[in-house]
Amino acid sequence: MRIIERFSETLERFNRESNEVSVITKEKEDLMTIILIQIDHILFKSRAFREVLRQSGNVLGDSHDCRLGRWYESDAKERFGATEAYAKIETPHAIVHRKANESIALAHESLDAKHQQTIIEKFTAMEKASEELFALLVAMLEEKRRTSLRPQANRIETGGKCKCA
């Protein structure tokens, strides 16, 4: 009988540790996705600056065309849709794209003093929205991490058996 009890304890410990590894792996995957999205948006802003200086008139995609927009409307909804921060991301994200494209269009018309001032104002608004967007992405990660730990804590407090439901 003792062998069966030890085997059962070993299996329970293995299951618990496997679940912990799974949670950590998902957290790291989420973190890497957020980092890639932030890098994409830094590159987007850099392209916007370049297009303004070139006066190309080549507007960039809207907030639904970029990696964040596509991710937001698919995988992110499933993984983060229950967080408060998720619902707040769309507005600053759209502002970043809109202000960048408005600046590109203005520069294409002219880089006279009047347009330069307006472009600076639009880029300032773009940067402010970008900072808000990045803060919301981090808040979304933190909120998900906190909520995903609750069932884990429950299992520990109840001797390994989840009484979450």
What does the pLDDT read at residue 103?
97
Phi and psi dihedrals of 75, rounded to 5?
Answer: -60, -40
46: amino acid identity, one letter: S
Q: In the CATH scheme, what is the code of domain 36-156?
A: 1.20.120
For 2, the token pair is: 């003792």
CA distance 160 to 162: 6
Distances (CA, A) of 97 to 47, 69, 102, 103: 11, 11, 9, 10
* Per-residue pLDDT tens listing for the chain (165 residues): 688 888 888 888 888 888 888 878 888 999 999 999 999 999 999 999 999 999 999 999 999 988 899 999 999 999 999 999 999 999 999 999 999 999 999 999 999 999 999 999 999 999 999 999 999 999 999 999 888 764 544 444 444 444 333
CA distance 40 to 96: 12
Domain spans in the chain, listed from the N-terminal domain onward: 36-156
Distances (CA, A) of 125 to 94, 95, 99, 131: 12, 8, 7, 10
Question: What sign does the dihedral 114-120-123-129 (CA atoms) show?
Answer: negative
